[in-house]
Amino acid sequence: MLNILWVGIMLLSLAAGAFTGRLEPVTNALLAGGGEAIKLALTLGGAMCLWGGLMRIAEKGGLTSLLAKGMAPVMRVLFPKLDPAGPACRAMLMNMAANLLGLGNAATPLGLKAMAELEKENPQPGTASNHMVVFVVLNTASIQLIPTTVATLRLQYGAAAPLDILPAVWLTSFASAIVAVTLAKILGSGVARSHQCGNEKKAGPGDAGRKKKRAA
Amino acid sequence: MALWAVPIFVAAVLITGIVKKVPVFDEFTTGAADGLRACVKVLPSLVALLTAVSMLRASGAMELLTAAVAPLAQKLGFPPEVVPLALLRPVSGSGSLAMLENVYANYGVDTLVGRVASVLQSSTETTFYTMAVYYGAVGIKRTRHTLAAAAGGDVCGIVLSALAVRLLMGG
């Protein structure tokens, strides 16, 4: 899917650039994009080191398992059959906590750690597991209690009460997160059913993974 | 609250670390090294993604798309002035933030347009970026139904942002 999306965006840009007579800026963007990515990675790299290190201390100090214990009922609903006290759930919870508090810089490194843990338990490496889809979708839907950046901008532009948007933000972000997760669940179970038949419903992906390992 | 979140969290982590006799400095550097490795792993997907996004923004395709979608948006009660932001939001974080400032400067913050733009920016994420970085970091090639589910959430966020502002803030 990412393949089609990526090629689609590039080709659309080239076509639109030719159509609007902006082929030169498009070419410049193409050639400069890599440098921009490296710049972003450097900024991201600092945050990844900081939060990776703090997360490790929190793990060893027992803070994350405390959080995992408290949130186990929620995690069981979102990620059935995944150990709610395991490393994957702990990392996902830290990511969600950072997202809720509006700490985007912390959420990404914690989320990537969670993805690494989920991949370890993935029966089909290289293909997104149902858990991964739900987790990524939770991140793309962005549940935020306090939208810090937007509130700061609103203040700068003279809003009478910069945070008066909060109820609307909560309603919108929670509703869209629920829709996204529900879609992920429905589509996930649909795919599982269409690929296998009858009573082998749950065994399919695991089988494929085991076969792959045996072949290797 | 966000102002306090980081300091309190860091203090709590460090204090429990010391109390539980964790070798905090060593653990921090180990974790930081992991973070750096993850960052290097993400880099190729970042290059692919940011190149495509900056090409898209330079090409004028967003303007063409906006012109095509605006009449439909207006019929659905979505302010057409916010359409460019809604289209850019899932693709580019920095781009949509610049677009938000643009909306504030041109239409004001405490107007229907300014409010819908604020709610939209706050309650949706840079979907394309998140997908590419998260899956890129662990080498997932087949993302299955992720895009469909995420796009469903985004559409819901766009439609609801206008509805919620009208409903809860009286327009």
Q: A136–B168: do the CB atoms touch at under 8 Å?
A: no
SS3 A127: strand
Q: Is A62 in Cβ contact with B16 (below 8 Å)?
A: yes
Asked whether residue A93 falls in the same domain as residue A160, the answer is no
> How many domains are contained in chain A?
2
Residue A3 lies in a domain: no
Q: Is B27 on the interface with A (CB under 8 A)?
A: yes
- A78 with A158, same domain: the answer is no
For A12-43, write each residue's pLDDT tens digit. Answer: 999 999 999 999 999 999 999 888 888 888 88
Residue A164 lies in a domain: yes
Give the A:B interface size as CB pairs under 8 Å: 362
B158 alpha carbon, distance to own chain's centre: 13
User: Do residues A58 and A111 share a domain?
Assistant: yes
User: Which residues in chain B are contacts of A105 at CB distance < 8 A?
Assistant: none
Of how many residues is chain A composed? 216
> Which pLDDT does position B40 carry in this prediction?
87
Same domain? A74 vs A154: no
Q: What is the pTM of this model?
A: 0.85
Residues A170 and A198 occupy one common structural domain: yes
Pick from A141, A147, A144, A146: nearest CA to A179: A141
The pLDDT assigned to B171 comes to 60
Q: Do residues A116 and A132 both lie within one domain?
A: no
Clarify whether residues A137 and A195 are in a common domain.
yes
> Which tens digits make up the pLDDT trace of B103-160?
999 999 999 999 999 999 999 989 988 998 899 889 898 999 999 999 999 999 999 9
Q: Which of B85, B93, B164, B84 is nearest to A164 (CA)?
A: B164
CB-based contact A126 B147, cutoff 8 Å: no
Structural domain that includes position A88: 39-121
Instruction: Tell me the chain B residues in contact with residue A169 when contact means C-beta distances shorter than 8 Å.
Output: 118-119, 122-123, 164
Put simply, whether A72 touches B (Cβ < 8 Å) is no
Q: Residues of A numbered 35-54 whose beta carbons fall under 8 angstroms of chain B's beta carbons: which are they?
A: 36-38, 40-41, 44-45, 48-54
- Residue where a domain stops, chosen among A102, A121, A140: A121
Q: Which residues of B touch A119 (CB under 8 A)?
A: 138-140
Tell me whether residue A31 is in a domain.
no
Inter-chain contact B154–A116, Cβ cutoff 8 Å? no
Name the domain boundary from A70, A94, A121: A121
Say if A193 falls within a structural domain: yes
- Place A208 in a pLDDT band, splitting at 50, 70 and 90: very low
**DSSP state letter for B142:** B
Domain annotation covers residue A34: no
Task: Name the domain boundary from A121, A155, A189.
Answer: A121
- ipTM > 0.90 (yes/no): no
Whether residue A132 is found in the same domain as residue A215:
yes
